[in-house]
Amino acid sequence: MQLEVVGLGGAGCRLADAIRATAPVDRAFLTDVFAFDTDEATLQETVIPESHRAQYGQGTALEGSTGLDGDLDQGFEAGQAVVDDLLKVRERANSTTPDAILVTVGLGGTTGGPTAPALIAALQRSVDAPVYVLATLPADREFDPDAAAADRGPHTGVTANTGGDEPPRPAAASHAIRTLEALEGVASAIVLFDNEAWLRPGETLADSRTRSNRELATRVAAVFAGSGGDSAGPVAQTVVDASDIERILGTESAIVSLGYGEQTVETTSSRFGLGLLPTERDVETSEAVSAVETVVRKGIYGKLSFECEPETADRGLLIVGGPPAWLNRRAIAGGRRELQATVGGTGVLGGDAPRPDGEAVFAAVVLAGVETERLERLRTLAD
C-alpha cells in the first residue's frame, strides 16, 4: 500500500523521521513524509527534506512552545488556527494520493497533541483515504514524582521527574487522555505506543528515544509495507493490501496495538564447506516451520507497542515475512489460526511478505479494538 506519514510536534517528527529511515529500500510504500513542529531546531534535526517540513504557530500562542502555560484548551484553539497553513505545505508537494495517512504525535503536551484533532479532521475532509494516528503515551515519571524516584535508584544519575534533561509535565496524563478523547470519532484508528512500558530501569527519556522510535518504526514498516508487490522480487502468496488494513483497523477510532517478532536465519551456504562460492541455502521444512512458529508467538504474546491482553481485541492481522525459502505456507496458516483463536473471532486476516534480500523471518501483528487497564489508570490520574 501507499502510505503518507505526517509528523506533528517534536515526538511526532522524530518518529516520522525514524519511519522514513526504517522503510525497506526495496518496498517503496511511503509516498511522502512531512514534519510539522513549533520548534525549528527539532525540524532541522530530521532528514526529511526542507520542502516537506514547516515550523508553525508563529504569531499564535503556540509560538516557542511556551506561550500556552499548560493550557490545553488554548492549545486546541491555536491548533485549529494553523491547520490551513499545514495543509498548504502538503498541497505544494503535489504528491500521489496515498492509500492512507499516518499522523505521528506525542501525547501529553500542549502543542503537537492538541493540533492533531484539527489537522486530522481537515485531512479526512480533503483526502479520500483513512487517516490513522500513531500516538505515544507519556511515561509515569513525566508527571509522577514517586515514579521518578522509584526508578531513579541510588546510582543512576537520573534527575527530576522526567529522569533526564527535560522539564516535568505534571498535567501530562490529563492532557494525554483529553487529547485521546478529542481524537475519538475523528481519527480512523489510534495506534498507541506506551513510553512507560518501554523504558528500561534507570534509563532517561532522551536515552530511550532512538531505541523506542526504531522499535515502533520497524513495526509500522512491517505492517504498512505489507506484502503488496512494490518490488520486482517474488510475489506474496497472500497479499495484504490497503483494503485489508482498513478492514482490520476500522474507521471508528479503535485503539490498536502492534506486536512484532523476528529471528535471524541463514540464507546462504558454501560449497565444500570452505566458505567459497556462496549459494542459496536449501531450507529444511522443520527449520522453516520452527522459525515461523517462533516469530508468530513473539508477535502475539511478546512485548506489544501498547500492553494489553490480545484476547480483548476485536480484530487481528498477521503478516509473516522474510526470505522466500523460509516462508513455510503451512506454518503461516497455522499462525493465522493461532491469532484467530486468541482474538476469538472471525475478524482475522493474514498474509506473507517475501523479502529476497532479508536475513530474518519476522511476524507483524495488529490487534485492533483492544481494552486495557493502562488507559483507565491514566484517566484516574487525570481526574
Per residue in 30-45, pLDDT tens? 999 999 999 899 899 9
**Domains 3-225 and 256-368 belong to one CATH topology:** no
The grid cell for 127 is 483526502
Residue with cell 503488496: 228
pLDDT of residue 35: 96
Residue 66 clears pLDDT 70, i.e. is over it:
no
Please tell me the distance from the alpha carbon of residue 195 to that of residue 373, in angstroms, as a whole number: 15
pLDDT of residue 98: 94
Per-residue pLDDT band for 196 (boundaries 50, 70, 90) equals very high
Domain 3-225 has CATH 3.40.630.10: no
Please tell me the distance from the alpha carbon of residue 114 to that of residue 74, in angstroms, as a whole number: 9
User: For the segment 303-342, what is each residue's pLDDT rounded down to a tens digit?
Assistant: 999 999 999 999 999 999 999 999 999 999 999 999 999 9
pLDDT of residue 159: 36
Per-residue pLDDT band for 157 (boundaries 50, 70, 90) equals very low
User: What residues have CB less than 8 Å from 101, skipping those under 6 apart?
Assistant: 3, 4, 5, 6, 123, 127, 129, 130, 131, 132
Architecture of domain 256-368: 2-Layer Sandwich (3.30)
Residue 3 clears pLDDT 80, i.e. is over it:
yes
Residue, of 24 and 32, whose pLDDT is higher: 32
Angle between helices 373-382 and 172-183 (to 10 degrees): 120
Query: Distances in Å between the alpha carbon of 154 and those of 49, 151, 161, 187, 304?
Result: 43, 9, 15, 43, 30
User: For the segment 206-228, what is each residue's pLDDT rounded down to a tens digit?
Assistant: 889 999 999 999 999 999 987 55
Closest residue by Cα to residue 19 from 99, 103, 139: 103
* Domain map (residue ranges) of the chain: 3-225, 256-368
CA 126 from centroid of its chain's CA atoms: 23
Mean pLDDT over the full length of the chain: 86
Per-residue pLDDT band for 22 (boundaries 50, 70, 90) equals confident
CA atoms within 13 A on the CB side of 327: 22
Residue 198 clears pLDDT 70, i.e. is over it:
yes
Give the whole-number percent of the chain exceeding pLDDT 70.
85
Residue, of 147 and 171, whose pLDDT is higher: 171
Residue 281 clears pLDDT 70, i.e. is over it:
no
For residues 352-367, give the mean pLDDT: 94
Query: Distances in Å between the alpha carbon of 224 and those of 129, 240, 331?
Result: 14, 9, 22
The pTM of this model reads 0.90
